[in-house]
Amino acid sequence: MSLITQIFGGFELIVRDVLMAIFPIVLIFVLMNFISFKMTKQKFWAIMKGFLLTTFGLILFLHGVEIAYVPVGQHLGSALASMENNYILIPLGLLMGFLVGFAEPAIHVMVKQVEEESGGTIRSKVLLSVVSIGIGVAVALSMWRLLAGFSLYYFLIPGYILVFILGRRVDKMFLAMAFDNGGVATGPMCSTFILSMAVSIASQIEGRSPLIDGFGVVALIALTPILSTLALGYIYKRKEERYLKEKQALQESEERR
């Protein structure tokens, strides 16, 4: 197989899928512009240029994922699982999950919007680090589950119980933001590289099934960023309560004087 065939194999399928996803959005935008928006020509063509760049970017990104991330994840998983001391997968999973989360494009968009809407109260770098730590913990737990053979229920049921407990102790803004973070965390980076690596590891370990043990990592990746964001919200709320108490005590002391 030639290098050109390896690079561009399946490219037309990616192009078709992206066009099928983007075209309805563009069509609705164009119709709404003529019916309601009535933008100036300059602004209209600027947005259309953005659609065009988005289309090209998605095609290149998804094709790169198909020819690079999935094979690399499979190869890396096979190599790590064949090591004699394969419990190193747990700290490596923590590190790789953090780095993959830190590079996830959807998370960057999410944290930037949060910083803008909160007026800078919630810094994007802090939230990005918190979500990435949650993803790292999810991958580390998935590696532990693969090696030890735990059921996924032992993580999901207590995890979501803890989510409902913490959800009642944080502001509504953090509760809504936490579940959105869980959704964006399972983006193309995690769902390709990490998932393919986990399935490959499960196929290499004796007594593990790729279908039963290999899958489930995405479910954990959707859970742990929710918990980490809620934990951040709880810290913010405690700091705010402490600040209000100190402010109230200072006002009372000034009134006594």
Same domain, 56 and 107: no
Which position has the token pair 């928006």?
Answer: 37
Q: Given this model, what pLDDT does residue 6 score? A: 67
**Domain assignment of residue 63, given as a range:** 1-82
Specify the pLDDT at position 144.
Answer: 92
> Which residue, of 19, 52, 82, is where some domain finishes?
82
Assess whether 165 and 56 both reside in one domain.
no
Q: In terms of domains, do 24 and 100 share one? A: no
149 φ, ψ (degrees, to nearest 5): 85, 25
Q: How far apart are CA 219 and CA 136, in angstroms?
A: 13
Q: What pLDDT does 27 receive?
A: 94
Verify that 131 and 150 share a domain, yes or no: yes
Query: Is 100 found in the same domain as 69?
Result: no
Answer yes or no: do 121 and 202 share one domain: yes
Do 77 and 90 share a domain, yes or no? no
How far is C-alpha 127 from the geometric centre of its chain's CA atoms? 12
pLDDT of residue 250: 82
Q: How far apart are CA 185 and CA 223, in angstroms?
A: 9
Distance between CA atoms of residues 14 and 63, nearest Å:
6
Whether 103 and 179 share a structural domain: yes
- In this prediction, residue 112 carries a pLDDT of 92
Are 112 and 67 part of one and the same domain?
A: no
Residue 3: predicted pLDDT = 63
Residues of the chain with pLDDT under 70: 1-3, 6, 257
Domain boundary among 82, 99, 127: 82
Cα 97 from Cα 138, distance rounded (Å): 7
The total number of structural domains that make up the chain: 2
Displacement of CA 140 from its chain's centroid (Å): 15
| C-alpha–C-alpha distance, residues 211 and 106, integer Å | 27
Q: Which of 66, 82, 98 is the last residue of a domain?
A: 82
- Asked whether residue 78 falls in the same domain as residue 109, the answer is no
Do both 75 and 93 map to the same domain?
no
Co-location of 23 and 94 in the same domain: no
pLDDT at 164: 92
Centroid of chain to Cα 61: 16
